[in-house]
C-alpha cells in the first residue's frame, strides 16, 4: 500500500517514473528500483516520527558499523517548518508564507499525475515520456526525485537493495571502511 498516494495514483506514478528511467540491458528500470516508493515516502514523510527527511548516521551498516541511516534525524523547529511547507504547501498558514503562498509537492503530484490523462497507463513509453516532460510544473520535480530515488541511499525508500548503485558500479556510502591509498591512486 502506498503511504500517501492512492493505489491508482501510485500506478500512474510508477509508469511515469519507468518512462523516465526505463530498464535497459544491465540497468533496472525505475519500477524495479522502487523510485515511486521513494517519491510516495517523501510525500508522506511526516506520517512517521521522526519524519523521513534526513537519514541518521554515522554509518549505514553496509560497510561496517551499526545501521544508523535507518534511524531518521529529528528536525529542528525551522527544518520542520521548511519541510512541511515544501511537501504540504503553505496551505494558508501565515508562518509558511514568508514570501507568499507555496505550492507543495503533494499538490504538484496530485495535479500532475491526474493531468497525464486517463489513458496514461495504456500509452506507449515514448508517449508517456513526452507527456511527463511536457508538464513544466511536474517534470522538474519528478525528474529530480527520480534521480534521488534511483541512486540515493536506500533508507529513503528507493534504490531497492542498492540495485541502482550496483548497475552503475558505484559503492555508495563507504564509511567506516573507506578506501585504501592503493584503491585511490591505482586505475
- In angstroms, rounded to a whole number, what is the distance separating the alpha carbons of residues 48 and 165? 26
- Are the CB atoms for 119 and 111 separated by under 8 Å? no
Residue 150 C-beta: closest distance to another protein, Å: 6
Please report whether residue 104 would count as binding another protein according to CB under 8 A: no
Please report whether residue 50 would count as binding another protein according to CB under 8 A: no
Residue 122 C-beta: closest distance to another protein, Å: 19
Task: Count the neighbouring beta carbons within 10 Å of the beta carbon of residue 185.
Answer: 8
- In angstroms, rounded to a whole number, what is the distance separating the alpha carbons of residues 34 and 46? 20
Nearest to 149 by CA among 33, 51, 55, 14: 33
- In angstroms, rounded to a whole number, what is the distance separating the alpha carbons of residues 34 and 126? 21
Please report whether residue 146 would count as binding another protein according to CB under 8 A: yes
Q: Which C-beta is closer to another protein: that of 7 or that of 181?
A: 181
Region for residue 117 given its phi and psi (left: phi exceeds 0; alpha: psi -120 to 50; beta: otherwise): left
Please report whether residue 77 would count as binding another protein according to CB under 8 A: yes
Among 59, 70, 108, 127, binds another protein (CB under 8 A): 59
Q: Which stretch binds another protein (CB under 8 A): 2-10, 94-102, 106-114, 115-123?
A: 94-102
Cell numbers describing residue 165:
548503485
Residues that bind another protein (CB under 8 A): 19-24, 26-27, 29, 53-60, 68-69, 73, 76-79, 81-82, 85-86, 98-99, 102, 125-126, 129, 132-133, 143-144, 146-148, 150-153, 156, 164-165, 167-181, 183-187
Amino acid at each position: 500500500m502506498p503511504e500517501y498516494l492512492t493505489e491508482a495514483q501510485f500506478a500512474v506514478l510508477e509508469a511515469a517514473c519507468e518512462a523516465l528511467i526505463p530498464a535497459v540491458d544491465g540497468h533496472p528500470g525505475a519500477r524495479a528500483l522502487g523510485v515511486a516508493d521513494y517519491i510516495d515516502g517523501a510525500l508522506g514523510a511526516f506520517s512517521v516520527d521522526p519524519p523521513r527527511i534526513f537519514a541518521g548516521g554515522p554509518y549505514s551498516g553496509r560497510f561496517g558499523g551499526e545501521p544508523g541511516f535507518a534511524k531518521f534525524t529529528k528536525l529542528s523547529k525551522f527544518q520542520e517548518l521548511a519541510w512541511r511547507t515544501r511537501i504540504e504547501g503553505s496551505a494558508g498558514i501565515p508562518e509558511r508564507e514568508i514570501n507568499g503562498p507555496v505550492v507543495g509537492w503533494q499538490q504538484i503530484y496530485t495535479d500532475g499525475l491526474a493531468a497525464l490523462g486517463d489513458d496514461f497507463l495504456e500509452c506507449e513509453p515514448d508517449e508517456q515520456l513526452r507527456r511527463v516532460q511536457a508538464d513544466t510544473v511536474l517534470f522538474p520535480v519528478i525528474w529530480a526525485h527520480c534521480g534521488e530515488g534511483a541512486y540515493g541511499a536506500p533508507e529513503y525508500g528507493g534504490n531497492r537493495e542498492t540495485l541502482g548503485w550496483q548497475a552503475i558500479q558505484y559503492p555508495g556510502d563507504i564509511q567506516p571502511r573507506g578506501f585504501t591509498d592503493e584503491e585511490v591512486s591505482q586505475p
